[in-house]
Amino acid sequence: MNEKHISSQFDADLRGISALVLEMGGLAESQTAQAMYALTNFSVETADQVLVLEDRVNAMEVEIDLELQRIIAMRQPTAGDLRLLIAVTKASANLERVGDEAARIARTVRRLVTTGVSSRMRLPVSELVYGADLAIAQLRRALDSFARMDAEQAVEVLKHDDQIDREFDGLLRKLITYMMEDPRTISSCIDLVFVAKAIERIGDHGKNLAEAVIYVVKGTDVRHTSVAEVENVVR
């Protein structure tokens, strides 16, 4: 996929749209990291920055899809080029959803702070940090694999997906214990459950991106197959 088309403009188009995906990925990663910072520090200011980024991420999804349509109409891409463009459309959809999840976290932070909840009680937000770091690492690994079209690195993302699911389950148990110990925290702990779910979803979107990379490189759709089967495909 590194070799040039006869049409240098076609090459430029494909490089351009891949760059847009990576830029969008960077924004989504940033949003997530900032949302977690906002949560652990109860910072409304940072939460607002996340919501500003949200607009940019949404605009990029529209821009990427428009460019995609143009390339498909003008170039009638086939084989690897076509698979790349299909992966681009999946990437932009998944990254936009990452943005949505990060925005959800930010809005929760705003609510917890502006209603005074966060100053009235001790909320176990630090329990969520480890899971969030895992999810952000997954996203970064997936975006790296997209940048380099590296199927092996993409498989690593799939292998780590279970870890995030287990972390979420553990978090749920901790929050239930918290709620049982102090029923006054129930309402805000439920908010935190939704935050934990958002983090888990971000990890899932990273996984979807990795599956798209394997599709581009190997020509095989590995969605809904086991990790062992995917490793066979990539080997």
**Binder to other proteins among 3, 181, 224, 235 (CB under 8 A)?**
3
Q: How far is the CB of 211 from other proteins (least distance, A)?
A: 16
Only one of the segments 17-25, 28-36, 80-88, 151-159 lies at the binding site for other proteins (rule: CB under 8 A); that segment is 80-88
Of 79 and 228, which has the nearer Cβ to other proteins? 79
With binding defined as CB under 8 A, does residue 81 bind other proteins? yes
The sign of the CA dihedral 121, 102, 149, 233 is positive
Size of site (CB under 8 A) for other proteins: 15
**Binder to other proteins among 55, 148, 219, 226 (CB under 8 A)?**
219
Contacts with other proteins in 4-43 (CB under 8 A)? Answer: 4-7, 10
**Binder to other proteins among 8, 78, 119, 126 (CB under 8 A)?**
78
Of 81 and 161, which has the nearer Cβ to other proteins? 81
Q: How far is the CB of 75 from other proteins (least distance, A)?
A: 8
Distance of CA 199 to the CA centre of its chain: 9
Q: Which of 74, 95, 78 shows the shortest CA–CA distance to 23?
A: 95
Q: Give the orientation angle of helix 79-114 with respect to helix 186-218, to 10 degrees.
A: 170
Q: How far is the CB of 4 from other proteins (least distance, A)?
A: 7
**Binder to other proteins among 8, 73, 79, 228 (CB under 8 A)?**
79
User: Long-range CB contacts (< 8 A, 24+ apart) of 112-116?
Assistant: 112/42, 112/188, 112/191, 113/42, 113/44, 113/47, 114/44
Distance of CA 210 to the CA centre of its chain: 11
With binding defined as CB under 8 A, does residue 119 bind other proteins? no
With binding defined as CB under 8 A, does residue 73 bind other proteins? no
Contact yes or no for 113/191 (Cβ under 8 A): no
Angstrom distances, CA of residue 195 to CA of 46, 58, 211: 16, 20, 25
Only one of the segments 27-35, 79-87, 119-127, 224-232 lies at the binding site for other proteins (rule: CB under 8 A); that segment is 79-87
Q: How far is the CB of 232 from other proteins (least distance, A)?
A: 17
Only one of the segments 21-29, 53-61, 74-82, 107-115 lies at the binding site for other proteins (rule: CB under 8 A); that segment is 74-82
Query: How far apart, in whole angstroms, are the C-alpha atoms of residue 120 and residue 42?
Result: 12
Q: How far is the CB of 144 from other proteins (least distance, A)?
A: 25
Contact yes or no for 234/152 (Cβ under 8 A): yes
DSSP helix, strand, coil percent of the chain (3-state; round to 5): 85, 0, 15
Site residues, other proteins (CB under 8 A)? 3-7, 10, 76-83, 219
